[in-house]
Each structure stands twice: as structure tokens, then as C-alpha cells.
A and B are shown apart, each in its own frame.
Chain A
Amino acid sequence: MNEIWKYRELTWNLTVVDLKNRYQNTALGFLWSLLSPLALALVLYAIFRYLFKQEPNFAAYLLVGLMTWRFFAVGTTSSLYCILGKASLVTKVYIPRQILVLSNVLSNLISSLLEFVVIIPILWAVSGSLPPTLLLFPLVFLIYFWFVYGAGLLLAGLFVYFRDLNQIWEVLINILFFLSPIIYPMAAITEKTMPYYLLNPMTQFIIINRDLMIYGNLPSLYSLALVTATSIAALIIGSFAFNKLQRRFAEEI
């Protein structure tokens, strides 16, 4: 942790490089990147709006769910390539290797927060009003961030040794997508499976964000405690595994 702090300027530089490369140095580049999730939201809305009539304000429901999910999906998938994609920073020079993942997740966090800023007017348009609790959503991302970072560390470290992990992860993340309440209403889950269903941390993050951004409810202490505990656990497990795995990175790349 101390080492990472010492290299905070490099971490920040790599984050900025990431963002610049992603958006080709233009504001328009950022808007282009929004096109695909918004198009997906639009298509899903067109298809499912009649199916899930019981969900009032389905458009907002869908939008917040998808955008919350996106940080996890893009953040973890891009983390896979952090070590292999920046091989010279691993094999030719010493830096704490965690910062390769950290800067990637940071740049994704910034993208995600910007995306939310852009969809707020859309939410306002489809809901008619915005709840004041909306202002609290960045705090959720403060917890969410460490969850994605922990998962990213584990994935980035394992991918160096197991090069088919990207395909496996693609399958797993697709399954997790349907195990989280993104495109269907929570009412679709039976009462019996609900306790298990709620154990999925992604479900919790999505519910909290919807509560804050659409319904104007503060999250319960229980779900806050659950997501905080999951994030801390992910961070600890990810850091520990990464530390073990990174010892032979330079040999395996």
C-alpha cells in the first residue's frame, strides 16, 4: 500500500493515458463510447416494455441497471489485459504492478461517473422529476470501486498464467448479467430464491443505485453493510492473490 502511494503520480499518469487513448483525446470520443450502452438500453426497452408493465418507469429502471452493471463488466474485462498488455512495464522496469490494474479501474470509474452525469438529464426526462438522494450516488461508487478493483487484481494476475481466462470470464459475466436485476423486475424472482438472489453483490449495488437515483430511498443499513463487506473481501482476496501471482510475472509473459 505504501509502495502504491509512492507511485501515485505514475498511477494518475497511466489513468490519464488510458482515458486519452480510449477517447482519442476528444470530447466527442466520450460521447461515441456512450452510443453502444444507450442503444442497448433503447433496444431492451423496446422489447421488454410490454412484458414488464408492472414495473413503473421501466426506462429509468433499465438505464440505471445497465449503467451500474457496465462499470463492473467493462472494469473487470479490461483488467484482464492490464499485465499482458503492458508487458514492458512488467519485464523492463520495477513499479508496483498493482498500479497497472488500479489505473485501469480508476479510468473506468471516471468514465462511469461521466456516463452517469450524461444520463441524469435522460432520467429526468423519462421520470419527470429527480429525487434529491441522487446526489449520493458517487458515494456508492466509492465502495463499488474497491469491489471491481479486487476482482480486477485477481483476474489480471490469473490471466498471465491461464490465457483462456478471457473466454471463461466472458461466459461467467454473461451468466452474472442474468442473475442480476438489470433487464427484468425484481418481482420476477420467487420468494424462495430471493434470499440467495440478494447475496449477489451486483444485485445489491444495482438496487442501491436505483433507490438513490429513481425512487428517492436511502439504502438500508443491511445492504450497505453487505456491499462494504463484499468490497473489502474482494480487495483483500484480490491483493493477496495478486501478490503471490506477480512474483513470476516477468517469467511467464
Chain B
Amino acid sequence: MSAITVNNISKRFRLPHHKKNTLFQNAIGLVKRQLTYEEFWALKDISFAVESGETFGIIGRNGSGKSTLLKILARVLYPDSGSFSINGKVASFLELGVGFQAELTAAENIYIYASVLGMSRRETGAVYDQILDFAELKKFEDMKLKNFSSGMYARLAFSTAVNCDPDIMLVDEVLAVGDEAFQKKCALKIDQFRDQGKTIFLVSHSLEQVKELCSRAALLNGGKIISYGNTHKVIDDYRQILL
């Protein structure tokens, strides 16, 4: 069964000739007939499927529509046409630690962030110790987040996110947080995810990473998929267009 199925998705952005974001400017613009905009198709007629349990990579140059696609699958952006379906519990890693509150303690923030990711209080309680142990922050559980270093902050966020037990992970670049030892732990966790048969959808600039992790990939260029399938073939095609 497919974990992610995407059918003919298109996404259009409006680029106004004169940026207006107040009622006043809009009223003036209406009088001066300046409410015109250009259309920019960030994605055009995209279709593909990601099988359950596979790690699928999306590569492409800057501005090719990779992030737009990821944001649509994460339900942050809406497509203008087309549809997609996702089977399973999704965790999107567009940014770590969304909803973290500086004024609250690490313990409180774990519960808040977990609820942002759709976890109930009971579910979070069951993995609470696991989260702190993995992040190596047991000692700091009652410390306010504003006193955390950026490394500690990232570790807490990553640990909470991966312990939420998603079926499908949407990832923007592989998350490299903390020092080298912690990065190794993260890599191990990702491997463990793959072994457990979870689906990972990865958008990345690093061809090395995609080659190492992904069984299949797609190449985006100008909002269209121009190559799709075996990772090695897709990477070769990418090198072609870079020339």
C-alpha cells in the first residue's frame, strides 16, 4: 500500500506588482488600478507515489518547488488543484520545536510540543522518560527553556519529535543537531526508523545523503518532475541539468 499518493498537484503563487497588505493600500490600489499580479506556478501537475516503508528523496535546484511540495504534504500550504492522500500518522519536521515557550520548563514544553504533533497527554506521559533520556537532559527537566543553550534546545526538540512514533516523517534536510556524538545518535534513530518499516519523505540538497538513505527519488525542475525512480538514475539526471 502506498504511504503517500500525489495526484496532479499544482500550486500557484501570486506575485503582486505592488505589495499591498493594508486596507488603506488596497483602497488606493483599487483607485489607481494597481491590484494586478503575476502568476508563478511553483508546482505543475505533480504525481507520484511513495510506498509504505521506503525512504523517498526529492532533489532539485533552489526554487524548483521542493519546499512547496513538502509544505503541501505537511498541510501548511493548499494546492490549487490536484489531490493527495497520506496513510498513517504524519510528523512533519519543517522546523524543530514549533510552539516551544521560553518562559516554561523543559517538562512543560515536552507536553506542549507533543500536543502540537498530535499526541495526547497520556501518550506523551508514556514516552516522557524516554524523551528526556534520549536528549540527555534529565537533570534539566525543571529548568526554563530560556536558559537552555541552542544545542540543548535542539536536542529536546528532536528527541520529542522522534519519540512521538510517527508512521510517516516529512523531513526538510536531514536533521543534524547537537554535537557529533548526538548526531550519531540521530543517525542511528533514523536507521532504526527505516528498520521498523516507517516511511521517510526527505527533501535535501545533499546528494550524498539522498544516495545513502533513499531507495527511490524524484527530481524537480521548474515545478515539474523530470526524473523519477531509482536514486542513482535520478542523481545522474540531476548532474546533467547542473552542467
Chain A residues in contact with chain B, CB under 8 A?
A: 6-7, 9-10, 13-14, 17, 20-21, 24-25, 86, 88-95, 161-165, 168, 247-248, 250-252
Contacts and interface: CB of A to CB of B under 8 A. Distances in A.
Interface in B101-153: 101, 103-104, 111-112, 115-118, 120-121
Contact of B103 (A10, A21, A92, A248): A21
Contacts of B95: 88, 92-93
B102 to A, nearest CB: 10
25 contacts: A6-B118, A7-B118, A10-B116, A13-B112, A13-B115, A14-B112, A17-B104, A20-B103, A20-B104, A21-B101, A25-B103, A90-B76, A91-B71, A92-B76, A92-B92, A93-B74, A93-B92, A93-B117, A94-B74, A94-B75, A94-B90, A162-B22, A163-B22, A168-B23, A250-B77
A92 B170 CA distance: 11
Given A21-B101, A92-B92, A94-B75, 14 more contacts: A13-B111, A17-B104, A17-B112, A20-B103, A25-B103, A88-B95, A91-B94, A93-B116, A93-B117, A94-B92, A95-B116, A162-B23, A168-B23, A247-B78
Nearest to B90: A94
Contacts of A168: 23
B63 interface: no
A250 B76 contact: yes
A176 B10 CA distance: 45
A237 B95 CA distance: 33
A242 to B, nearest CB: 14
A49 B101 CA distance: 46
A168 B22 CA distance: 11
Nearest to B101: A17
Interface of B: 13, 21-24, 26, 71, 74-78, 90, 92, 94-95, 98-99, 101, 103-104, 111-112, 115-118, 120-121
List the 9 shortest-distance A-B pairs measured between CB atoms, nearest first: A164-B22, A94-B75, A10-B115, A92-B95, A162-B23, A247-B78, A92-B94, A93-B98, A250-B76
Contacts of B118: 6-7, 10
Interface of A is mostly: helix
B172 to A, nearest CB: 10
Contacts of A165: 23
B19 to A, nearest CB: 11
A47 B95 CA distance: 54
B98 A92 contact: yes
Contacts of A247: 78
A247 B71 CA distance: 13
Contacts of A89: 98-99, 116
B76 A93 contact: yes
- Considering residues A14, A86, A165, which has the most beta carbons from chain B within 10 angstroms of its beta carbon? A14
- Considering residues B26, B74, B94, B99, which has the most beta carbons from chain A within 10 angstroms of its beta carbon? B99
A214 B2 CA distance: 64
B101 A9 contact: no
B101 A164 contact: no
A46 to B, nearest CB: 38
Contacts of B99: 14, 86, 88-89, 93
Contacts of B116: 10, 89, 93, 95
Contacts of B94: 91-93
B42 to A, nearest CB: 10
A216 to B, nearest CB: 42
A104 to B, nearest CB: 14
B33 to A, nearest CB: 19
A164 B24 contact: yes
Contact of B26 (A21, A25, A162, A251): A162
Contacts of B104: 17, 20
A20 B103 CA distance: 9
A88 to B, nearest CB: 5
A19 to B, nearest CB: 12
A250 B115 CA distance: 21
